[in-house]
Structure 1
Amino acid sequence: MSVTHSPRKDGSFRINGWHVLAGMVAFFAVVIAVDATFTVLAVRTFPGQVSVTPYEDGLLYNRRIAQIEAQERLGWRAAADAQPGTVILDVRDASGRPLEGLVVKARMERPATEAGRFAPRFREVAPGRYEAPTGAISGAWDLTAEAADARGNIFVAERRLTWP
């Protein structure tokens, strides 16, 4: 005995295996098309190259890591303070004693832009206390200070300071 299906006389639609197959194929075709489109757009807008000189950047990064490790061995600490018209840098050794006679080079820049970047000139006003005039500035500024002693030890401190 065999089962036969006769078309419905009421005109209603009936889903069979071919409809399910066609639906699944259409679904995955849309997913693949969207994925392919996004992949092509991503590769066109960003080819993956971050730097023109990646090898040299890697060497600089390795030097920076070595400098940070040397700095950690020194144990120096720095505190920075924003005063009206002045930036103050207090540098101490591992035991908390002020470090005297350092040559401090610095850079001040806005966090979000390079506009207004300047290099304040620090001078020692007390043992371990270095001050630099900033002029009439306001808002947030990033200070990057590099302090070096007579023996060639280098300490780099980065701080965000805010003036009213």
Structure 2
Amino acid sequence: MTGQIMSAEQVPSKGKLTGWHVLLIMLGFFGVMFAVNGVFLYHAITSFPGEDVKKSYLQGLDYNHTLEAKAAQDQLGWSAAAGMVGSDLVFDLTDADGNPLEGYQVTSELRRAASTAHDQIVEMEPLQSGSYAVNLSDLPAGRWDVQFQVIDPAGDDILFRADKRIVITP
């Protein structure tokens, strides 16, 4: 039997993977990873509006006061209903017996979940029979979270809070 023996000198050098090639491949891979992560990091930082609730740490420390206010609201027995009537946001307030409550200052805080750009607090106008309304025709269409606050006419105490999610259509 005749056989050929190849030595290392006879192996073609074209396409040979060397240590330098592996180093360049690894540097290229991690370079692309860092560049993509940098783009993601930039967009995450520039698009996040920041803390959604003002002074959330202090609110957490004062949570017992929040619970006391909620218990006081529950003792009133008031109920509320809210919704869109055309381009008006209407809020109806009744006492424990179902009688309409009039003469209160009612504000509504309108917030969007996606952005704080259009968030605002508006004063609602009193109507008859415990109804309060505000025109929202200037707001962009979409889903809005509304927090209603009924304020004591004699002072600045918030007597009642109610939350509602509404949809404004174009």
TM range (shorter): 0.5 to 0.7
Task: Using the TM superposition, give the Cα deviation of residue 120 of structure 1 relative to its aligned residue in structure 2, in angstroms.
Answer: 2.1
1:124 corresponds in structure 2 to 126
For 1:143 and 1:154, locate their aligned partners in 2 and report how far apart those are by CA, in whole Å.
17
1:159 to 161, 164, 168: 164
Task: Using the TM superposition, give the Cα deviation of residue 129 of structure 1 relative to its aligned residue in structure 2, in angstroms.
Answer: 0.3
For 2:136 and 2:122, locate their aligned partners in 1 and report how far apart those are by CA, in whole Å.
6
Mapping 1:27-38, distance limit 5 Å: none
For 1:66 and 1:136, locate their aligned partners in 2 and report how far apart those are by CA, in whole Å.
36
2:87 corresponds in structure 1 to 85
For 2:56 and 2:134, locate their aligned partners in 1 and report how far apart those are by CA, in whole Å.
36
Task: Using the TM superposition, give the Cα deviation of residue 59 of structure 1 relative to its aligned residue in structure 2, in angstroms.
Answer: 3.1
For 1:53 and 1:158, locate their aligned partners in 2 and report how far apart those are by CA, in whole Å.
19
- RMSD value over aligned CA atoms? 2.0
Distance 1:113 1:101, change over 3 A: same
Does structure 2 conserve the Cα–Cα contact (< 8 Å) formed by 1:109 and 1:115?
A: no
For 1:109 and 1:65, locate their aligned partners in 2 and report how far apart those are by CA, in whole Å.
23
Q: Which sections of structure 1, spanning at least 5 residues, go unmatched? A: 1-51
Does structure 2 conserve the Cα–Cα contact (< 8 Å) formed by 1:90 and 1:130?
A: yes
Does structure 1 conserve the Cα–Cα contact (< 8 Å) formed by 2:149 and 2:158?
A: no
Secondary structure of the structure 2 residue equivalent to 1:122: strand
Task: Using the TM superposition, give the Cα deviation of residue 153 of structure 1 relative to its aligned residue in structure 2, in angstroms.
Answer: 6.2
TM, length-normalised to structure 2: 0.59
Does structure 2 conserve the Cα–Cα contact (< 8 Å) formed by 1:145 and 1:158?
A: yes
Deviates more, 1:126-135 or 1:152-161: 152-161
For 2:60 and 2:113, locate their aligned partners in 1 and report how far apart those are by CA, in whole Å.
24
Distance 1:53 1:123, change over 3 A: closer
Mapping 1:17-28, distance limit 5 Å: none
1:143 corresponds in structure 2 to 146
